[in-house]
Chain A
Amino acid sequence: MTEQHRREATGGDLGPVLDTSAPPAATARLVEAHKPDLLLTEDHSLCPGCGEPLAVRAFLDAIAELGMTSRAVGVVGIGCYTMFSGTIDVDLVQALHGRAPSVATGVKRMLPDAVVFTLQGDGDMVNEGLQEVLHTAARGERVTCILLNNGVFGETGGHMTATSVIGQRTKNTLDGRDAEQHGYPILIGDLIARLEGAVYVARGSVHNAGAVARTRRMFRRAFETQAAGAGFTFVEVLTMCPTGWFVPTADGPDELQRTLAEVHVTGELKVDGHVRTTAELQAENVAKQREVEAQLAAGGLDETS
């Protein structure tokens, strides 16, 4: 079916369907060929436009950069990202849905010198296993919990989670998440930051290259803090899920910024025991954005920023 035919058949409304009847006007451009050392293969079975592979690559790079490879042990939850347990070259324990923080606790107590992390989604951590991550943080357990937050149950095909934002359309909130009926989203990073046992809490994103680089720095800081034995560390990463958000693949990053990031504000929520407010993070993000724009106007990005 040509675009012309489809236009006629649908009355001009093409909807979110990608036209694959002809090659795209511009071909895909390989920006950077990089495979993290700790990834056995670049292949994965996740959807096009998914943000999870970016987040996984970011923390694998951080582990390798810190020279912590041969002491890394991961505990994986249940979600789309679970497929990475076959391709991540790190000793792993597979946990039940929601149970990764308690399993990681057992691992860390028996291997105090290991760098132990969990890999969980928002359905896994904030719905099913909320008490696990909160108690693990409160105990000050020397592990790093990693949350891939896309505000939706991706693996079941797009259903509401505890982090879905107000107004978000999912398969079980067809008219959008309504606070009256479905309650309010849990800002898990902010909640954990208030707990005494948590010493480093950050919320990154993977909607563009700058955000990925920033997230990788957050991972480094979290793992370093864990290795120093300071307490519980937490890195939340906002990831695109165009399939579960029902938007065209390429719109994922913009949709993330427009919806998820508006509510779950990115930045370092707690550093060295100091909790930072949403307003502080927003101000910092605006200042950073202005800085980047100024650099672009002046002829190019400063790689160190």
Chain B
Amino acid sequence: MDGSEALVRASLLAGCRFFAGYPMTPFTEVLEHFARLLPEHGGVCINAESELEAVGMAWGAAATGARAATGSTGQGLSLMQESLAEATLAEIPLVVFNMARSQGDYFQATRGGGHGDYRNLVLAPQDVREGIELVQLAFHLADKWRNPVVLYGDYLLAHTQESVAVEPLPLPELPPKDWAVDGSRSGSGVSRAVTPLGLGKVGQRDFGQEGKAQYIATKMPLLEREVRVDIGWIDDAETVIVAFGSPARFVKYAVQQLRAAGHRIGYVRPITLWPFPYDAVRAAAEQARAIGSFEISSGQLIDDVRIGAAGLAPVTFLGGVSTDHSGFGVGRLLDVEEVTARVLALHEGREQPPVPGYEEYAYALAAHQQEAAP
């Protein structure tokens, strides 16, 4: 089956009962599979009129205690930012499938474009097999912390056909959702409110707006315990490469090949993008000569790598915008030979090779370079 179907089947296994979405490549197949499979499993999938409504519908479904999800890509998720920020204050356990077109939405996912002091948990599987586990973990963590969880995938994850078994991930039991609304307590004097505002009902705890913000601010550091990371050959590594998601598979393979050739190179692969595994990067930086950030973007992950490295080792950007005519972030840079050449160049202290494809834009840049010249 393709990655999208595997992620959807994993959602059903996790007890997902509601999905709403709006088609947009490469997320579209996730919506298609939910639309086909959810009704068969007693759930509901709505083809929302916009991403704004998709996230609203999922919000409402989640407020009743049902496991609910939505998702999109780049622009669609930009539209959802208001809700993804506010849902953190309302403590809505929402799972968001972000099938990104490149890794240039790293900031969108980990920093977000929403308002206020908020964080969404972000999980980034490297392949379909890990995706099946992380989807189930996403629903678990969303309920555990009552916070939105973003699953950051991409074109490769959503569209790769793999032979995989969708099996349940053993996870601890969670307490019942006594905060959810169902109408049964209406008129009892202790009816419930699922609200981002501090406004408490008469006779019940009333945070006030500031108090609610304080409470969420106190909760966020607890979520940092959920950090997950995959590390390889760090102990004696002179060069350490940081990468996440599908591109990390290419990096891991390149590092493995270079190791076999006798080069002391290791890797750090964040599985959670927020919370970011700063400690793992710091530990690597303490004894490495060079840290490289490989990413399919113009440089976003590198900010977190630099924070983690804390100046203990220089951090070099190894990635770049890499796309083909389809625009889905699967360009010429996503190639083991290209990745290997870049990792080796960093390891041997040479300059990075040019990003393939960039030379096509040299004519457009020439004018700017002239302007910039002193």
Contacts and interface: CB of A to CB of B under 8 A. Distances in A.
Interface of A: 37-38, 40-41, 64, 69-73, 75, 82-83, 85-96, 99, 101-111, 114-115, 131-132, 135
B61 interface: yes
A95 B86 CA distance: 9
Contacts of B86: 96
B57 A102 contact: yes
B189 A96 contact: no
A110 B194 contact: no
Interface of B: 17-18, 20, 44, 46, 48-50, 52-66, 68, 82-83, 86, 90, 181-189, 191-197, 199-203, 206
A15 to B, nearest CB: 35
Contacts of B49: 131, 135
A41 B186 contact: no
B130 to A, nearest CB: 29
Contacts of B82: 96
Contact of A85 (B182, B188, B189, B199): B199
Given A91-B181, A103-B63, 14 more contacts: A38-B187, A40-B202, A71-B183, A85-B195, A91-B193, A92-B194, A94-B197, A102-B53, A105-B56, A106-B56, A106-B68, A109-B18, A110-B68, A115-B183
Contacts of B48: 102
Contacts of A69: 186-187
**Most chain A beta-carbon neighbours within 10 Å: one of B17, B18, B54, B57:** B57
Contacts, number: 166
A82 B18 CA distance: 27
Given A85-B193, A106-B59, A109-B61, A70 B184 contact: yes
A194 B214 CA distance: 46
**Most chain B beta-carbon neighbours within 10 Å: one of A94, A106, A109:** A106
Contacts of B20: 106
A222 to B, nearest CB: 17
A111 B57 CA distance: 13
A93 B191 CA distance: 11
Nearest to B195: A94
B186 A105 contact: no
A73 B61 contact: no
Nearest to B185: A91
Nearest to A37: B187
**Most chain A beta-carbon neighbours within 10 Å: one of B53, B60, B82, B181:** B60
Contact of A131 (B50, B57, B187, B191): B50
B186 A89 contact: yes
B201 A40 contact: yes
Given A105-B46, A105-B57, A92 B181 contact: yes
A86 to B, nearest CB: 5
A265 to B, nearest CB: 29
Contacts of A109: 18, 44, 46, 57, 60-61
A93 B87 CA distance: 11
A140 to B, nearest CB: 13
A294 to B, nearest CB: 40
A198 B205 CA distance: 38
14 contacts: A64-B187, A69-B186, A71-B184, A73-B181, A86-B200, A94-B90, A94-B197, A96-B83, A99-B52, A99-B59, A102-B52, A106-B18, A111-B182, A135-B53
**Most chain A beta-carbon neighbours within 10 Å: one of B189, B199, B206:** B199
B183 A103 contact: no
A92 B189 contact: no
Contacts of B193: 85-86, 91-94
A69 B52 CA distance: 30
A111 B206 CA distance: 27
Nearest to A98: B52
Given A40-B202, A82-B197, A131-B49, A102 B186 contact: no
Given A40-B201, A91-B186, A94-B90, A105 B60 contact: yes
